[in-house]
Amino acid sequence: MNLLLDEIARATARLADAGAASPRADAEELAAAVHGVNRSELHMVSDGAFDARFWEYVARREAGEPLQHITGRAFFRYLELKVGPGVFVPRPETEVVAGWALDVLRDMDVQDPLVVDLGTGSAAIALSIAQESPRARVHAVEKDPTAFVHATRNIEDLDERGQVKLHLDDFSTALTEFDGKVDMVVSNPPYIPMSEWEYVPRDVRDHDPADALWGGGDDGLDAIRVVEQTARRLLRPGGYVAVEHSDLQGNAVYWVFAEENGWRDVRNRRDLTNRDRFVTAKLGAD
């Protein structure tokens, strides 16, 4: 038997005992990162090339460190992003938000759509839109200096056409020069209420930056309320907004985008597990 595959099997058992949600996938990803190959190429690593650092990585994952912090990379749609302590690790659920935005942009009768990503973190959404919508002009806003460094690095590495401009700013006040001119605002803001602290997985609450998790207010929706206000300021009439929320907040977020504030076609949309995941709305023309 291939030595590395045998060690991966042992690591899988250890990670399962430690409570990892996806022990086999984690073990394979750790092995791939250590040996500089893709997961599909693990069987090609010879016994003599086995790197014992694999067990150091496994021990860190057993202790609750996020997989992506150990490997230094996270996958999002068609991107491989650099991540680490101080930046929120993008989740698969957010890929659905980005996918909706891209579908709308493709159907939009605008030659070079102007898109704003509020609270960009690693720049996952901004870069996906730039990569998959070649004519889009994307402005990404991030207020945390550490996350800004990660976003800068990813944009430098992956934004081949120079479509993404990054701004170190609070998204409540950012980009006033674009007031009333933006075609789409997208955001995955913090939204977890502090009352849910004990229910948040340990590797999330102990390692993801607090400003990217806790949304503020008793219901966790203060940051989403700021997104609504900023989107209303930035969007042109007929422009769209998409904002992510938890699977329990759909109804509450729906009412944040009130008709009396000019919002139309407000809809709660679901992720691939059929759970409420994000709200979309269109700014009315009147």
Consult the annotation and say whether 260 binds a ligand: no
Structural domain spans, the chain: 3-63, 76-81+85-283
- pLDDT tens, 37-79? 888 889 888 888 888 899 999 999 998 889 999 999 999 999 9
Percent of the chain with pLDDT over 90: 70
pLDDT band at 1 (very low <50, low <70, confident <90, very high): low
CATH architecture observed for domain 76-81+85-283: 3-Layer(aba) Sandwich (3.40)
- pLDDT tens, 248-258? 888 899 999 99
Consult the annotation and say whether 57 binds a ligand: no
Contacts of 109 (CB under 8 A, 6+ apart): none
SS (H, E, C) 70-132: HHCEEEECCEEEECCCCCCCCCHHHHHHHHHHHHHHHHCCCCCCEEEEECCCCCHHHHHHHHH
- pLDDT tens, 25-43? 999 999 999 998 888 889 8
The mean of the pLDDT values for the chain is 91
Q: Tell me: pLDDT of 204 over 90.
A: no
- What is the torsion angle, in degrees rounded to the nearest 10, for the CA atoms of residue 38, residue 41, residue 43 and residue 46? -90
Consult the annotation and say whether 142 binds a ligand: yes
- What strand order describes the sheet that includes 263-270? 164-168, 137-142, 114-118, 182-187, 235-244, 276-283, 263-270
Specify the DSSP element, H or E, that contains 265. strand 263-270
Closest of 100, 52, 47 to residue 77, by C-alpha? 100
Tell me phi and psi for residue 277, to 5 degrees: -135, -30
Consult the annotation and say whether 62 binds a ligand: no
Q: Tell me: pLDDT of 198 over 70.
A: no
